[in-house]
A and B are shown apart, each in its own frame.
Chain A
Amino acid sequence: MKTCLNVLMAVLAFVAVAGSNAHCVVGARFFPATLSVDDPCVADELSFPTIASFKNGDDPSTRELDMAAEFSKRITDNFGISIGSAWTQLNPPGGSNVHGFQNLEASFKYQFLTEPARELVMSGALDVEFGHSGSGAVGAESFSVFTPTLFVGQGFGGLPDNTRTARPFALTGQIGYAIPSKSWTTSIDPDSGDTTKELNPQFLTYGGSLQYSMPYLRSNVVDLDLPGFFNHLIPIVEFQFQTPVANYHGSGIGTTGFVNPGVIWIGKYFQVGLEAIIPINRASGTSVGVLAQLHFYLDDLFPNSLGKPIFGNASASAKLALGN
């Protein structure tokens, strides 16, 4: 009985000491959930809704409205799954509106490096877009796309004290390689009956964010006694690009992408983000759009149920309890 009690106490003590970081807290650094690229952590969170309005790169350019949702769940402390989709409405000039869902997307992500003292975090993921799960009328493809992706987050808190106003800066980055399940897609022209073959390129996808954390400034550098609202802000610039690297010759496809300056307001249980969408070239879009998101921290809202991993760190607990 005494042994059981000792083991139980050791397990409880380990759980208490180890704690849990859940949404992206690495040492003194909090990386917010970014709007257009993914943050470098595994977390229990819900983005609902994410709304984007912009004129896309079609010819002629079409006003596009996207409303998306994404749910992320930790399976273990360091491994999580995300699932999400978007509803799209297209308003082509002079044409009638079309709308429908984009393909369902999922991400299987493992956070393999967390160094609190260096404010450094890295993750690897396999992102999957499931072909045929959305509406072709809004551009959802008939094939699946698999994108192994590497994520990194680095806070600048380790800079020397004489550069202290730079310490609230942080960078996140991601790079992936998108591989379609079919190298080409064939279609038949309904008028002529001709068969056309369209290449499905492989893309290098890359992006990230540069952010300046006012909460970090107040808690770790200098408290300027600003009004409370400003102490919750993280001004941010996100950038996201994709470049065809294989199976694209003769298609006329080039690099596309967006630069999104904006701001994120951080609360206890949720955050709100608002960004401009600036296309980098004509193929990306024809005017500045807007992107907004409401994002919930499920680990803080429901720490004892929906917001904790399905499987905890049992092996480590047992190891400690056995005194190894």
Chain B
Amino acid sequence: MRIVRVLGSAAALVLFGNVAGAHAFLDEADPRVGSTVRAAPREVTLRFTQDLEPDFSSVAITDASGQRVDAGKPGVSGNVMRVPLRPIGAGNYRVTWRVLSTDTHTTEGTFTFGVAAP
């Protein structure tokens, strides 16, 4: 029966104890993940499920040849990360991100978006 008491205590702790952050997963992006947009965006915006640590969160945007097209360091505010883009044309682009949530969980991911020919 001791195991029941231990598990019961753990369950109570989980259900009623103080809670904190969680992993920062990508919630939505602009341009949208996997989309093709008509007009070339001036920046890429990533919104995560948790607040980020700015100094340890990064993003890189590359074109089809692997050349970086992001311009400058990304800005982080809460759970949103923005990075400006150099002028880009039609084509496919890859966004690669790695972030650290405020409770020190790292996550990373990658996706593509396209810019349609005029």
Q: How many angstroms from the CA of A302 to the CA of B19 in the assembled complex?
A: 6
Q: Which residues of A does B touch, CB under 8 Å?
A: 15-23, 25, 27-28, 30, 46, 48, 69, 71, 83, 85, 104, 116, 161, 164, 215, 218-223, 225, 268-269, 296-304, 306
Taking a contact as CB atoms under 8 Å apart, the answer to whether A28 and B110 are in contact is yes
20 cross-chain CB contacts under 8 A: A16-B55, A18-B106, A19-B56, A21-B105, A27-B108, A46-B11, A48-B7, A48-B10, A69-B7, A161-B112, A221-B34, A223-B32, A223-B33, A299-B105, A301-B17, A302-B17, A303-B103, A303-B104, A303-B105, A304-B20
Neighbouring A residues of B35 by C-beta, 8 Å: 222-223
Taking a contact as CB atoms under 8 Å apart, the answer to whether B53 and A16 are in contact is yes
Neighbouring A residues of B11 by C-beta, 8 Å: 46, 48, 69
Question: B56 → chain A, closest Cβ, in Å?
Answer: 5
Interface residue? B117 (CB, 8 A): no
- B50 closest partner in A (C-beta): A268
- List the 8 closest pairs (A to B, CB-CB), nearest first: A222-B34, A19-B106, A300-B22, A28-B109, A303-B103, A223-B33, A219-B26, A69-B7
Neighbouring B residues of A83 by C-beta, 8 Å: 3
Taking a contact as CB atoms under 8 Å apart, the answer to whether B19 and A301 are in contact is yes
Contact with A along B92-118 (1 / 0, CB 8 A): 000000001001111111111000000
Taking a contact as CB atoms under 8 Å apart, the answer to whether A218 and B33 are in contact is yes
Neighbouring A residues of B17 by C-beta, 8 Å: 301-302
Using A19-B100, A298-B14, A300-B21 as known contacts, say yes or no to A220 and B33 having CB atoms under 8 A apart: yes
Question: B72 → chain A, closest Cβ, in Å?
Answer: 21
Question: A287 → chain B, closest Cβ, in Å?
Answer: 30
Contacts across chains A and B counted by CB atoms under 8 Å:
110
Q: Describe B's contact surface by its main secondary structure.
A: mixed
Interface residue? B29 (CB, 8 A): yes
Question: A111 → chain B, closest Cβ, in Å?
Answer: 15
Neighbouring B residues of A225 by C-beta, 8 Å: 32
Q: How many angstroms from the CA of A71 to the CA of B2 in the assembled complex?
A: 14
Taking a contact as CB atoms under 8 Å apart, the answer to whether B105 and A219 are in contact is no
Q: How many angstroms from the CA of A53 to the CA of B25 in the assembled complex?
A: 35
Contact with A along B22-43 (1 / 0, CB 8 A): 1101101100111100000000
Taking a contact as CB atoms under 8 Å apart, the answer to whether A20 and B34 are in contact is no
Complex interface residues of chain B between 44 and 93 (CB less than 8 A to chain A) = 49, 53, 55-56
Contact for B7 among A15, A71, A116, A298, CB less than 8 A: A71
Q: How many angstroms from the CA of A165 to the CA of B100 in the assembled complex?
A: 27
Neighbouring B residues of A19 by C-beta, 8 Å: 56, 100, 104-106
Neighbouring A residues of B20 by C-beta, 8 Å: 300-304
- A15 closest partner in B (C-beta): B104
Q: How many angstroms from the CA of A304 to the CA of B22 in the assembled complex?
A: 11
Q: How many angstroms from the CA of A143 to the CA of B10 in the assembled complex?
A: 29
Question: A270 → chain B, closest Cβ, in Å?
Answer: 8
Question: A298 → chain B, closest Cβ, in Å?
Answer: 7
Q: How many angstroms from the CA of A71 to the CA of B6 in the assembled complex?
A: 9
Taking a contact as CB atoms under 8 Å apart, the answer to whether B14 and A17 are in contact is no
- A225 closest partner in B (C-beta): B32
Not counting A296-B14, A304-B103, a sample of 20 additional A-B residue pairs whose C-beta atoms are within 8 angstroms of each other reads A17-B100, A25-B105, A27-B108, A48-B11, A48-B14, A215-B25, A219-B26, A219-B111, A220-B33, A220-B111, A221-B34, A222-B33, A223-B29, A223-B34, A223-B35, A299-B105, A300-B20, A300-B21, A301-B20, A302-B13
Q: How many angstroms from the CA of A185 to the CA of B49 in the assembled complex?
A: 55
Question: B53 → chain A, closest Cβ, in Å?
Answer: 6
Taking a contact as CB atoms under 8 Å apart, the answer to whether A22 and B105 are in contact is yes
Q: How many angstroms from the CA of A223 to the CA of B31 in the assembled complex?
A: 10
Question: A155 → chain B, closest Cβ, in Å?
Answer: 11
Contact for A219 among B10, B13, B25, CB less than 8 A: B25
Using A16-B53, A46-B10, A303-B20 as known contacts, say yes or no to A220 and B105 having CB atoms under 8 A apart: no
